[in-house]
């Protein structure tokens, strides 16, 4: 009916927030149903949906707002003006720094902060840094929820551990975890959940990273040992020193903001049979380790103070081994 009635008409058609190919096909055919001169605008989170139209269309990737644009958009929603109140400028700039040019975040936070006092602004900004705004979170999670389980694992691993790492290095690790990263990483790129810079490093917007990490936090808000991934030093310290880590834990990053010593329980990793990633820096341990999981794919521990790893540790599953300035020698690691 669309083809018969509109085939001789020149039209302007806007398809907003398309996420399935049949939505395009049912309304456009192969983009040959309408008269010459017709204009069709499609917005989508998934670049791959446009692949079959590439010969007949041009694409535009929406860019993040620059500082001036971000300040104006925030001010329109927070102050009903194109610029902030003079005594709120420093606070407005903190919001902009947090939003990193994402219009969605600026609109939602601007509306949330409208009419608030300066102490309330400061409190809200501090909260945003720890717990994402629920309105922003729900919208950002739409693309995440469209992924399958392996793609979700890839996204969460990058958000928690591998943002800023070289793509080939991460792909080797994830391939060893049976996550099919050649396809999965491209799927994340198509959905604008990650990007790859000119140096071939994996990147993602700070708010997307925070969204991914909050998904992990919500697995067990009060018991970090029951989450699948740990990267916050306070949570890691609690789990390892109290020996509360469980089999569900997939990866741990131990990174102290200041050089520190940690009194680990010698068997603190014993329950973590499925641990794949163990990454540590700026941390010394006061007691030895009697167990490290054999499922490890990454062992990255700068300055490990031990002279040898536990004798029952089998390193054959390792894809990445990095222990600069440690005392462990290869003969003690591989038992040669």
Tell me the pairing of strands 195-196 and 39-44.
unpaired
Q: In the chain, what are the helix, strand and coil shares in percent, each to the nearest 5?
A: 45, 15, 40
Q: How far from the centroid of its chain's Cα atoms is residue 244's Cα?
A: 26
pLDDT value of position 24: 83
Q: Are 269 and 275 in contact (CB under 8 A)?
A: yes
Q: Give DSSP secondary structure letters for 239-262.
A: HHHHT---TT--EEEEEEEEEEEE
Per-residue confidence in pLDDT tens, the chain, 336 aa: 777 777 778 889 899 988 888 888 888 776 677 888 888 899 988 888 887 776 667 888 888 999 999 999 999 999 999 999 999 999 999 999 999 999 999 999 999 999 999 999 999 999 998 888 888 999 899 889 989 999 999 999 999 999 999 999 999 999 999 999 999 999 999 998 999 999 999 999 999 999 999 999 999 999 999 999 999 999 999 999 898 999 999 999 998 888 778 888 788 899 999 999 999 988 877 667 889 999 999 999 888 777 778 888 888 999 999 988 877 765 555 554
Q: Are 250 and 274 in contact (CB under 8 A)?
A: yes
What's the CA gap between 158 and 82, in Å, rounded?
Answer: 37
Q: How many Cβ atoms are within 10 Å of 200's Cβ, its own excluded?
A: 11
pLDDT value of position 3: 75
Q: Are 245 and 235 in contact (CB under 8 A)?
A: no
**CA-to-CA dists, residue 99 to 64, 87, 94, 104, angstroms:** 10, 20, 9, 9
**SS3 label, residue 145:** helix
pLDDT value of position 186: 95
Q: What is the residue extent of each domain of the chain? A: 2-56, 67-130, 144-212, 220-334
pLDDT value of position 333: 58
pLDDT value of position 289: 83
CATH class held by domain 144-212: mainly alpha
């Amino acid at each position: 009916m669309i083809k018969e009635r509109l085939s001789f008409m020149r039209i302007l058609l806007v398809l907003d927030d398309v996420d399935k190919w049949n939505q395009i096909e049912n309304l456009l055919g192969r983009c040959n149903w309408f008269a010459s001169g017709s204009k069709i605008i499609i917005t989508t989170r998934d670049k791959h949906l446009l692949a079959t139209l590439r010969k007949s269309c041009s694409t535009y990737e929406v860019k993040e707002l620059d500082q001036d644009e971000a300040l104006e958009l925030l001010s329109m929603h927070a102050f009903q003006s194109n610029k902030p109140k003079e005594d709120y400028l420093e606070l407005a700039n903190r919001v902009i720094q947090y939003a990193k040019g994402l219009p969605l975040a600026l609109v939602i936070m601007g509306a949330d902060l409208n009419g608030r006092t300066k102490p309330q602004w400061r409190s809200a900004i501090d909260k945003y840094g720890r717990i994402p705004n629920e309105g922003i979170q729900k919208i950002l999670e739409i693309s995440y929820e469209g992924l399958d389980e392996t793609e979700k694992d890839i996204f969460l691993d990058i958000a928690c551990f591998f943002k800023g790492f070289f793509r080939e290095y991460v792909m080797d690790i994830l391939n060893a975890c049976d996550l099919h990263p050649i396809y999965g990483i491209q799927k994340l790129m198509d959905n604008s959940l990650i990007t790859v810079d000119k140096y071939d490093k994996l990147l993602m917007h700070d708010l997307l990273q925070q969204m991914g990490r909050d998904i992990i936090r919500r697995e067990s808000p009060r018991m970090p040992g029951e989450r699948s991934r740990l990267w916050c030093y306070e949570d890691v310290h609690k789990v390892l020193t109290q020996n509360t880590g469980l089999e569900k834990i997939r990866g741990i990053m131990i990174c102290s903001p200041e050089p520190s010593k940690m009194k680990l329980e010698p068997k603190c990793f014993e329950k973590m049979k499925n641990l794949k990633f163990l990454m540590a820096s700026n941390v010394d341990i006061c007691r030895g380790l009697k167990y490290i999981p054999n499922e490890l794919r990454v062992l990255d521990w700068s300055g490990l103070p031990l002279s040898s790893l536990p004798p029952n540790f089998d390193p054959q599953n390792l894809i990445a081994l990095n222990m600069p300035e440690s005392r462990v020698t290869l003969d003690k690691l591989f038992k040669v």
